[in-house]
């Protein structure tokens, strides 16, 4: 009976959800915090293949989002940030073996200056034969720590070098470190990108914002079955919107489906708690000190059917 109620809750409160994953390094154990071993990558690919998941080009999911169309729940898109050389040397052969499409996002300064761990422009041209390439900024700066003028300058420089060396203009942008504010989003959108991706755990469905697309990180010995359980809860966040100046999270206010009577609330460093919902309104007083400069506030009917608000101190 409990299992039936759980499945019914997912049906009522969530939508048909696809998943976008993000990788960084491949077969590079010197950097364990961003590395995926080839054994782990193959295990994940085998799981996709044996469990009826369809690996699709990122743009196929984004087109569905733009048209507000249902996205098949077995669709998965794979992305790679930073354009590390280990993808070209170690990861790409496995992607080719499984014939899996991908999108890679370029840290332009590292490529332009021939940083040791990063691909060359020539290697990116080769990579482009098998996947698509987007932009991950010029300097890979913490965007919350630079001015709007510096962000504009960084993006213009990145676009110019990208187009000069690859021969086309990127249409998708990925935030360095996944960090952004509404002002940063508006600035990036002004350059004409068709989509912008973050790095927040969650799924993608027809109600997603094409300029705030969720991606789930796959690093190390992660449980892919666990990651694929994430679905998106429809939440209208009212408070908080920004990291509080005094570091104290006073309240969480949000609107949800009026049929929901209770939710789970998570704050980084404080764990989960059960809260009540009245007439579709979350109005929870907390008065807790945020423990990290990068904190997530999550609402969910379960720990997998969620909506996330990212708060970053700057």
Distance, CA of 182 to CA of 311 (rounded, Å): 12
Average confidence score pLDDT of the chain? 93
CATH fold for the domain made of 236-312: Immunoglobulin-like (2.60.40)
pLDDT per residue as tens digits for the range 65-109: 999 999 999 999 999 999 999 999 999 999 999 999 999 999 999
Residue 5 has pLDDT above 50, yes or no: no
Reference 175, options 203, 215, 207; nearest CA is: 215
Give just the sign of the alpha carbon dihedral 58, 64, 67, 68: negative
Burial class (CB in 10 A: 0-12, 13-18, 19+), 250: middle
**Residue 3: band (very low, low, confident or very high) from pLDDT cuts 50, 70, 90:** very low
pLDDT tens-digit profile of 188-224?
A: 999 999 999 998 878 999 999 999 999 999 987 888 9
Question: What is the largest distance, in Å, between two alpha-carbon atoms of the chain?
Answer: 61
Same fold for the domain at 18-229 and the one at 236-312? Answer: no
Q: How many degrees, rounded to 5, is the angle at CA 282 between CA 279 and CA 287?
A: 150
Helices (H) and strands (E) in the chain, counts: 10, 18
Q: Which CATH number fits domain 18-229: 1.20.1250.20, 3.20.20.370, 1.10.1030.10, 3.40.50.720?
A: 3.20.20.370
Contacts of 274 (CB under 8 A, 6+ apart): 262, 263, 264, 265
pLDDT at 270 over 50: yes
Q: Where are the domains of the chain?
A: 18-229, 236-312
Query: How far apart, in Å, do the first and last CA atoms of the chain sit?
Result: 47
pLDDT in tens, 13-34: 445 699 999 999 999 999 999 9
What is the tens place of the pLDDT at every residue in 277-292? 999 999 999 999 999 9
In this structure, what DSSP letter does residue 27 have?
A: S
């Amino acid at each position: 009976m409990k299992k039936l109620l759980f499945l019914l809750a997912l049906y009522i409160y969530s939508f048909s959800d696809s998943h976008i994953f993000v990788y960084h390094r491949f077969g590079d154990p010197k950097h364990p915090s961003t590395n995926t071993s080839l054994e782990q990558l193959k295990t994940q690919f085998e799981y996709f293949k044996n469990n009826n998941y369809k690996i699709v080009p990122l743009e196929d999911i984004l087109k569905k989002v733009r048209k507000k169309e249902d996205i098949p729940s077995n669709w998965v898109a794979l992305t790679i940030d930073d354009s590390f050389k280990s993808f070209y040397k170690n990861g790409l052969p496995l992607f080719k073996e499984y014939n899996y499409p991908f999108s890679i996002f370029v840290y332009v300064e590292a490529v332009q200056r021939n940083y040791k761990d990063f691909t060359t422009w020539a290697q990116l041209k080769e990579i482009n034969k098998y996947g698509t390439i987007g932009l991950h900024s010029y300097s890979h700066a913490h965007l919350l720590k630079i001015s709007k003028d510096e962000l504009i300058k960084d993006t213009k420089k990145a676009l110019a070098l990208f187009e000069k060396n690859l021969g086309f203009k990127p249409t998708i942008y990925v935030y360095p470190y996944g960090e952004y504010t509404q002002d940063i989003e508006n600035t990036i959108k002004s350059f004409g990108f068709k989509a912008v991706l973050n790095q927040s755990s969650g799924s993608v469905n027809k109600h997603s914002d094409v300029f705030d697309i969720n991606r789930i990180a796959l690093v190390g010995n992660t449980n892919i079955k666990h990651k694929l359980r994430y679905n998106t809860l429809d939440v209208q966040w009212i408070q908080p919107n920004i990291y509080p100046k005094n570091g104290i999270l006073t309240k969480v206010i949000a609107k949800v489906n009026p049929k929901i009577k209770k939710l789970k609330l998570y704050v980084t460093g404080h764990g989960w708690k059960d809260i009540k919902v009245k007439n579709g309104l979350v109005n929870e007083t907390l008065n807790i000190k945020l423990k990290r400069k990068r904190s997530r506030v999550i609402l969910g009917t379960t720990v997998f059917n969620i909506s996330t608000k990212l708060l970053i101190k700057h």
